[in-house]
Structure 1
Amino acid sequence: MQGEVSRYICLPGQATAYYIGYTKILEARQRAMDELGEQFDLKEFHNVLLGNGALPLDILDQVITGYIQSEVEGG
């Protein structure tokens, strides 16, 4: 707990940046679930999400859009 407090004191924007990334990933997951329905595969979503390494959030959105389109077109 002390380490987290120290980090937030020294880097106050870190928690906000972390939370923005967290919510963007949740939004991308929900969008994939909504658009793919029964075709949605959590393991495959995670493979796409993590397989590209660290990406800017706007690029991540493009990657997820491509994944959704690929799955809709037949995987």
Structure 2
Amino acid sequence: MMLTRKATLDDKKLSVLSPGLQAKFDAIKKQHAEEKKKLEEKRRILAEEMAAFERRKQLAEQAKQGNLTMKKKK
């Protein structure tokens, strides 16, 4: 009997505190989603930059190889 009464009191306390906690939770959840979206965008941009760098690197290596073969032919 005592345990049930205590549980009921705890539920009442939670229901009083709950709206404020729920608002905090929702705000943090929204902030987390926004931060995650920003990080995903930054990651996408970095991946594109890395791919562009690799392409430039390959072109530079090909040009270097082309110059070496042209010098050997002379």
TM-score by length of 2: 0.38
Tell which structure's C-alpha radius of gyration is larger.
2
Give the structure with the higher percent helix.
Answer: 2
TM-score by length of 1: 0.37
